[in-house]
Amino acid sequence: MKITQKDVEHVALLSRLKLSEEDKDKYTQSLNAILEYMEILNRVDTSSIEPTAHVLPLKNVFREDEAGETLEKELVLANAPDRENGCFRVPRII
Amino acid sequence: MSNSHKYETVIGLEVHVELKTKTKIFCSCPTEFGGEENTHVCPVCLGLPGVLPVLNKRVLEFAIKAGLALDCEIAGFSKFDRKNYFYPDLPKAYQVSQYDLPICKEGRLEIEAEGKKKTIGITRIHMEEDAGKLLHSGTTITSSHYSLADYNRTGVPLIEIVSEPDMRSAQEARAYLEKLKMILEYIDVSDVKMEQGSLRCDANISLRPIGAEEFGTRAEIKNMNSFKALQKAVEYEVERQAEILDEGGSIVQETRSWDEEKGVTVSMRSKEEAHDYRYFPEPDLVPIVVEPAWVEELRNSLPELPDERKGRLVNVLGLSEYDAGIITGSRALAEYFDRIVACYEEPKAVANWINGEFLRLLNAQGLEVTESKIDPEDFAALLRYIADGKISGKIAKEVFAEMFEKGEKPDEIIKRKGLIQISDEGALSAVVEKIVAGNPKSVEDYKAGKEKAIGFLVGQVMKETKGQANPGLVNKLLQERLESL
Amino acid sequence: MRKGENVLSLTGLTAYKLSELLRKREISSTELTEQHLELINALEGKINAFVTVTGEDAIKQAREIDKRRARGEELPSLAGIPAALKDNMCTKGVKTTCSSEILYNFVPPYDATVVEKLRAAGTVMMGKCNMDEFAMGSSTENSGFAPTKNPHDLRAVPGGSSGGSAAAVAAGEVVFSLGSDTGGSIRQPASFCGVIGLKPTYGYVSRYGLIAFASSLDQIGPFTRDMTDCALVMNAIFGHDSKDSTSAPVEAPDFTGYLKDDVKGLKIGIPKEYMQSGIDQQVAAYVKKAIEKLEELGAFCEEVSLPHTEYALPAYYIIAPAEASSNLARYDGVRYGLRVEADDTISMFNETRSRGFGEEVKRRIMLGTYALSSGYYDAYYLKALKIRTLVKQDFDEAFAKFDCLLTPTSPTPAFDFGEKADDPLSMYMSDICTIPVNLAGIPALSLPFDTVDGRPVGLQLIGKAFDEGTLLRVAYTLEQNTDLTRPKPDLEGGAAE
C-alpha cells in the first residue's frame, strides 16, 4: 500500500473535499493503483539531474508600474453567490 | 510574578511591509488605501478563472533597495512560488510568494536598546502579494455570524523581512522595529504606517534556561498594531511562557493573537486547521535574473541612511548624539533640518529650535513634518532675527507659533505686529526714568539690599514697551540708574 | 447563390474556400451562419458537441460582417466564418463552465486573448464546446453535464478532453474550433474524430483567459478540416501577449508560407518506443504506410530511440495534478459559481467542492495535493520535474539529427463509451503518445490517415520548439498526395448509429 485511508483523509482535508466512507474506500484504491504504477520512476537515477519547472528559457518578464482599468463594480459582484454592501458574503469563519 | 529572570528570551520578528508602488504586484489596479469596497479590483487580482500574473518591475526594484539598505546579499537568480491555503480573503486559494530562492538574504541591522548597540541578523527578504480584507458582522471574528470580503487590498505588493532570532528583550524587539521603519521610510519604499497596516509585525518568542544553547519551543504572536503593542505583547508572552515552564509545563508551538484591550495573547488554534502550504514553483511567472549592474545602479540611488546621517550631524555639524538622533529619526525631519542649515549655518541653534518648539507644535497638533507650513528659509530668517538681537526669544516663540499656524513670513509678522526689539538707549532711558519714578517702594527695597526687586522693575519696563525692549539693555540701564540714586 | 434559389450546402467546406466565396460576395456570412445553426439544431441531439450555442449573437456578428463587407471594407480571411471554442476559454458575457457543475453559471467579465484575437479577425462565434471537466480526461465522458459522441460512430467516444471541439468540426457544425492540449487533449480527439489538431509550442499562443488545468503544460490550438485552414487559424490566434508572462517573445510568421508540397531531403525520425506495446496492429500498419508514402515523396525516415518515453506518463500524472490541485483551489463558492450553503465557511468550502467537482477531478486534486504535501514533495513532484528534464533531453537529442518525428497519435482508434470509464489508469494510457510532447513544450499535430471499421486514425508529427513550419509542410504534403486525410462521417445515412 502506497497510500492509506488515513492519508486520503488528510489529503481530502488539505483539498477541502468532503468524502463519504464509500468515497474514501474508492479513492484509496484508485490512488494506490496510480501510485504503484509511478513506482517505475524509481528505476531512473535522477540524482544529478536538474528539475525543469519551466520549459521555455524565459526570464525577467515585467510590467511597468502604470495604472490600468479596474473592473466595473457591478461586474465584480455579478457572479457572487451571496453579496451585501458591495462585498462577497461568507458564513461564520470560526 | 514568575521567575522570568531564570530564562533568556529569544525573539525573531517577521515584518510585512506594503510597498508604495502605484499599482499592484501582478496587475495594474491602484494600491491606494481606502476607497469603496471592491472598486480597486480587476479579473487578475480577483483571481477569476483564466487570469495570469505579470510582475510589476517597481516591486522588484523596491525589494532590492530594501535589501541593500539592510546590507543583504541580492540573489542573482530568484523565483516565485505558490503557498496554498484556503481562506475567504485569498481569492486564488494560494498566495504568490517566494519560498526557497528569495530576492535578498543574509543582511543586518544595527540597533540601540537600553544604551547598548547590537547587530540583528536579517535572514531574508521576499516579495509576495497581500490578501483581501474581511469585515465581520460582529465585533470580533468569533462572535460574527457572517463576514464580508473586500478585495481592494488583494495583490498589493508586500515584502516580508525575516530577522534572525537575535533579540533578547521586548526593548530590543521594539528598537529593531523602530529602526527598520526608519530605514524603510528613508529609502522611500513604503508608507510604513502601522495603524493603516502598511507595516505589520509578527513575533516568534521562546524562552530557554540561561546558558542553554538550544532554542525553546516558540509561539508566534500576531496582531500587534503599534510599537507599544509589540513591546507589551512580548512582555506578556515572556511572563506567560515563564509561568508555564516554572510549573514544569511545556510550551505549545502555535500562533497566538495579541488582544490589545485585555492585554493578553490568545491561542488561534482550530482543529479544522491543516498546516501544509505545499509550496511549489509558480508556473505562471518566469524566474528573475538580477544583473549586478542594475544592483549597483540601485545602490547608488539610495539616499544617505540614518546611521550615516546621524554620524555627519554629530561629527561634522557638532550636534549632540541625542539631538542628532532625534533629527535623523525621520528622513523628512532630517531633510528639513538640512534645508534650514543651508540657509543659516548655525546647526546647534537650528537643532534646538527643531527639537524644541517645532516638534512640540507638530506633536500637539498631530502633524507630520511634511505638513508643516514653515518654509526652511523663513525658519532660518527667524533665527537670524534672534541672533541679531532684533527680537527676544520670547517674542520669537510668539512669531514662530504664527508662522506655524499660517505659514506667514517672520518679517511680515514682526512688521505687522511691531515686534522689533527696542535697543535705542535714548528711548529706553526715558521709560526707565518713568518706571523708577513711579515705583518708589521697589527702588527703596533695592537700595536696602533686596537685589531681586530689580526683576520687578525690568518687568514693568517690558510691560510698558509691550515686550519689545531689549531685556539685556533694560537691565543695564536700570542698574546704572539705580546705582546713581 | 441567393436565397430561394437552389440552396448550395455551405457546411463541410473549408475556411479558405468559404472565405473566397464571401470575399466575392457569392454568399453572405449571415446565410453561412444560418446554415451552420440549422445543422447544429439537427445534430446536437445526437452529438452534443456544445455546452452553449450562441445563435442570436452569431447572427448579429454575421450581419455586422456582411455590412462591413458591403461597405467595401477589406476583411481578414476568417471574417464571417463560423467557429466554436472549448468551454474553458473565457468569453465576456457568455457562460464559461469547463463542463463542470462548479462553474455551471459562471459568466466571465472579460475575454481570453485568443477570443479577442478571433473577434478582431471577424470570426463568428457559434458557441462553447463540451469537454472533460476541467480538461481532465480522454473521452469527454468526464463532462459534468453529458458526454459528446463521435460523429463517425455514435457508440464511440470523441476522445478528450477537447471532444466537443473536435466533434463539432468533424460533424460540420462549425468550420473550425479551438481546443486546449495539456497532455494530448487536442491531438487525441482530433485523431478519434478524423480532423486536424495542432498543439503549438508552449508559449506560442497566449494562455490568458484559458481556465488553467496545468499551467506549465496547457496550450491552445486549432481543430480544422485541412492543413490550409490550420495555417490560417494559427495566423489569427498566435502572437506574444504581455498579459501572459510565459508567452514567447517571437516574431510572427505567416503560417500559410509553410504549406509546401515537398518533403524532399527531410529527415523524419520514427521513435521506436511509440511503436511498441499496446499499439493496435491496424494503427501500426497505417504508420508504416505513411512512412512508405513519405519515402516515396523523397523524405528520409529512420528509427530513433527516445529512451525515457515510458517515464513521461507517470511524471505527467504527478506534475499535471499537482498544478491542478492549486489551480482548482479557487473554486470555493465565495466569488462565483456553485455554492452549497452551510453554517460556517469551512463547511461551505467542503460541501461546495465535493458537490461541484466530478470524480476524476477530485481524484486528481487529491493526487496532486499528495504529491506536493510535506514529506512527499521530493519523492514525487521534484522527481517528476527531473524526469521532465530527461524527456526533454531525449527530444533535443533526436532533433539534433531529425527535422521532425512521426508516431501514432493514439495507440488505438476511438474506443467505446464505458470501455475505460471505470479504470483511470487505462484511460491515462490512451495519452501515452501525446504526453511526452507537453512535458517538452514542443509542437505536434495530428493528421487523419485512414480509418479502422469506420473510426478514424491519426498520425502524430512532432517538431522542434517554434518549428511548426516543418509539421505544416510534412502534413500538407501528405494531404496533397493521398486521399486518406479527410474521412467524412455519414451522419445523414445513419451509418454512424
Q: Tell me the per-residue pLDDT of C432-450, one tens digit each, with 9 for 90 and over.
A: 999 999 999 999 999 999 9
Please say whether the dihedral angle defined by the alpha carbons of residues A35, A40, A45 and A46, taken in this order, is positive or negative. negative
Rounded CA-CA distance C494/C152 in Å is: 10
- What CATH class is the domain C15-265+410-496? alpha beta
**Residue B81 in contact with partner chain A when CB distance is under 8 A:** no
Do residue B49 and residue C322 have CB atoms under 8 angstroms apart? Answer: no
Domain assignment present for B334: yes
Nearest-by-Cβ selection for A87 from B21, B37, B144: B37
Instruction: For residue B113, report the phi and psi dihedrals to the nearest 5 degrees.
Output: -135, 135
d(CA C21, CA C15): 10
CB C332 within 8 A of CB C352: yes
Contact A66 B23 (CB under 8 A): yes
Q: Above 80 in pLDDT, residue B5?
A: no
What is the tens place of the pLDDT at every residue in B404-443? 888 888 888 887 777 777 777 888 888 888 888 888 888 8
Q: CA-CA distance, B342 to A44, in Å (whole number)?
A: 72
Please indicate whether, in this complex, the C-beta atoms of C329 and B94 are within 8 angstroms of each other. Answer: yes
**Does residue B197 sit in the same domain as residue B331?**
no
Question: Mean pLDDT over residues B64-79, rounded?
Answer: 97
Minimal Cβ distance to B92: which of C210, C330, C369: C330
Closest by Cβ to B88, choosing from C89, C216, C334:
C334
Most confident of B162-171, B220-229, B271-280: B162-171
List residues of C with catalytic annotation.
Answer: 86, 161, 185
Distance CA C357, CA C378 (A): 28
* HSE of C472, CA atoms in CB hemisphere, 13 A: 25
Comparing CA positions, the residue from B55, B49, B48 lying closest to residue B80 is B55
Q: Tell me, what's the pLDDT at A1?
A: 65
Percent of chain B with pLDDT over 90: 54
Q: Are residues B127 and B235 in the same domain?
A: yes
Give the separation between CA B206 and CA C460, rounded to whole angstroms. Answer: 62
Residue B348, domain member (yes or no): yes
Under an 8 A CB cutoff, do C386 and A51 touch? yes
Tell me whether residues A70 and B40 touch, CB distance under 8 A.
yes
Q: Which amino acid makes up residue B277?
A: Y
Amino acid C81: pLDDT = 98
B278 CA to chain C: closest CA distance, Å? Answer: 5
Q: Do B48 and C336 touch (CB under 8 A)?
A: yes
What confidence tier does B274 reach under pLDDT thresholds 50, 70, 90? low
Q: What is the pLDDT along chain C (497 residues), one digit of tens a residue?
A: 444 455 678 999 999 999 999 999 999 999 999 999 999 999 999 999 999 999 999 999 999 999 999 999 999 999 999 999 999 999 999 999 999 999 999 999 999 999 999 999 999 999 999 999 999 999 999 999 999 999 999 999 999 999 999 999 999 999 999 999 999 999 999 999 999 999 999 999 999 999 999 999 999 999 999 999 999 999 999 999 999 999 999 887 999 999 999 999 999 999 999 998 789 999 999 999 999 999 999 999 999 999 999 999 999 999 999 999 999 999 999 999 999 999 999 999 999 999 999 999 999 999 999 999 988 999 999 999 999 999 999 999 999 999 999 999 999 999 999 998 888 888 888 899 999 999 999 999 999 999 999 999 999 999 999 999 999 999 999 999 999 889 989 886 543 44
- Euclidean distance between CA atoms B344 and B263, whole angstroms: 48
**Distance (Å) from the alpha carbon of B22 to chain C's nearest alpha carbon:** 18
Cα–Cα distance, C462 to C395 (Å, whole number):
9
Are B322 and B412 found together in one domain?
Answer: yes
Same domain (yes/no): B473, B354 = no
Domains, chain A, in order of start with CATH, read: 5-43 (1.10.20)
How close C367 gets to chain A, by Cα (Å)? 7
Domain end: B261, B294, B327, which one? Answer: B294
Considering only CA atoms, give the Rg of chain C: 22
Are the C-beta atoms of residues B207 and B169 closer than 8 Å to each other? no
**B275 and B231 in a common domain:** yes
The answer to whether C138 and C427 are in contact (CB under 8 A) is yes
> What is the DSSP-derived secondary structure letter of residue C414?
P
- How far the first Cα of chain C sits from its last, in Å, is 34
From the CA of C210, how many Å to the nearest CA of chain B?
A: 5
Neighbour-count burial for C210-220, b at 16+ CB within 10 Å, e otherwise: bbbbbbbbbbb
pLDDT at B4 over 90: no
- Let me know whether B190 and B267 are in one domain: yes
**Co-location of B227 and B350 in the same domain:** no
Total number of domains constituting chain B: 3
pTM, entire model: 0.90
Angle at B222 between CA B216 and CA B226, to 5 degrees: 115
In this structure, the number of other CB atoms found within 10 A of the CB of residue C479 comes to 22
Please choose, from the candidates C440, C443, C468, C467, the residue with its C-alpha nearest in 3D space to the C-alpha of residue C216.
C440
- Which residues in A lie closer than 8 A to residue C249 (C-beta atoms)? 58
* pLDDT band, very low/low/confident/very high, at B140 (cuts 50, 70, 90): confident
Give CA separation, C419 vs A87, C71, C413, C496, in Å.
47, 55, 13, 18
**C242 has a chain A CB within 8 A of its CB:** yes
Interface test with C, best of A1, A35, A52 (most C CBs within 10 A): A52
Nearest to B50 among C211, C242, C373 (CB): C211
Nearest to C329 among B53, B86, B147 (CB): B86
Which chains would you list as touching B if contact means 3+ CB atom pairs under 8 Å?
A, C
Report the C-alpha gap between C465 and C399 in whole angstroms.
10
**C-alpha grid cell, residue B200:** 505589520
Total count of residues recorded for chain B: 485
Would B339 be classed as within a structural domain? yes
Distance CA C129, CA C87 (A): 5
CB-based burial label for B197 (10 Å; 0-12, 13-18, 19+): middle
Whether B40 and chain A come into contact, CB under 8 Å, resolves to: yes
Nearest to B94 among C89, C326, C334 (CB): C326
**B417, B439, B474 - which closes a domain:** B417
Chain A residue with the nearest C-alpha to that of C333: A81
> Which residues are bridge partners to B119 per DSSP?
B110
B321 part of a folded domain? yes
Sequence letter at residue A55: V
C385–A17 CB contact, under 8 Å: no
B154 touches chain A (CB under 8 A): no
Contact at CB, B49 and C208, closer than 8 angstroms: no
Whether residue B90 is found in the same domain as residue B48:
yes
ipTM above 0.90, yes or no: yes
Residue C345 and residue A91: Cβ atoms within 8 Å? yes
Identify which of C461, C485, C469 has the alpha carbon closest to the alpha carbon of residue C406.
C461
Indicate yes or no: CB of A92 within 8 angstroms of CB of B146. yes
Which segments of B114-263 are extended strands (E)? 116-129, 133-136, 146-150, 157-163, 199-209, 219-224, 254-259
Whole-number pLDDT of residue C7: 63
Please indicate if any CB of chain A lies within 8 Å of the CB of C421: no
If asked whether residues B461 and B359 sit together in one domain, one would say: no
**Which distant-in-sequence residues (6+ apart) come within 8 Å of C27 by Cβ?**
C1, C8, C10, C18, C21
For A5-14, B102-111, B135-144, C478-487, which range has the lowest pLDDT when averaged over its residues?
A: B135-144
In a shared domain, residues B236 and B318? no
The sheet with strand C82-86 has its strands ordered as: C50-53, C124-129, C82-86, C176-181, C219-224, C196-199, C444-452, C455-463, C404-408, C267-271, C300-304
**What does the block give as the cell for C413?**
482508434
Give chain C positions within 8 Å (CB) of B82. Answer: 326
C-alpha distance across the termini of chain B, in Å: 72
Task: Answer yes or no: is pLDDT of B480 > 90.
Answer: no
**Largest Cα span, chain A:** 58
B91–C335 C-beta distance less than 8 A:
yes
Q: Is residue B365 over pLDDT 90?
A: no
Instruction: Report the C-alpha gap between B227 and C229 in whole angstroms.
Output: 67
Q: Dmax of chain C from CA atoms?
A: 72
- Residues B164 and B22 grouped into a single domain: yes
Task: Name the residue among B167, B164, B233, B228 with its Cα closest to residue B9.
Answer: B167
Strand A83-84 with A87-91, pairing: antiparallel
Residue C495, pLDDT score: 39
Task: Please report the pLDDT score of residue B1 as a whole number.
Answer: 44
Chain C neighbors of B54, CB-CB under 8 A: 242-245
Cell of C448: 487523419
Both B64 and B189 in a single domain?
Answer: yes
State the residue for C-alpha cell 492540449.
C181
Helix axis angle, B393-406 to B376-387, nearest 10°: 170
Which of B278, B285, B288, B289 to mutate against chain C (most C CBs within 10 Å)?
A: B278
Preferred mutation among A9, A15, A62, A75 to probe B, highest tally of B CBs within 10 A = A62
Q: Which of B365, B383, B417 represents a domain boundary (last residue)? A: B417
Residue pair C230/C445 in contact (Cβ under 8 Å)? The answer is: yes
Residue type, B156: V
Cβ of A85 within 8 Å of Cβ of B60? The answer is no
State how far residue B159 is from chain A, nearest Cα, in angstroms. 17
Q: Are strands C404-408 and C267-271 parallel, antiparallel or unpaired?
A: parallel
Interface of B with A in 445-474 (CB under 8 A): none
Task: Give A94→chain B minimum CA distance, Å.
Answer: 6
Q: Is the pLDDT of residue B455 over 90?
A: no
Q: How confident is the model at residue B187 (pLDDT cuts 50, 70, 90)?
A: very high
- Full residue range of the structural domain in which residue B480 is found: 425-484
Q: Number of A:B CB contacts under 8 A?
A: 125
CB half-sphere exposure, C16, CA atoms < 13 A: 12
pLDDT category of residue B370 using cuts at 50, 70 and 90: confident
Phi-psi sector, C89: left (phi>0), alpha (psi -120 to 50), beta: beta
- Please judge whether B149 and C334 are an interchain contact, meaning their C-beta atoms are less than 8 angstroms apart: yes
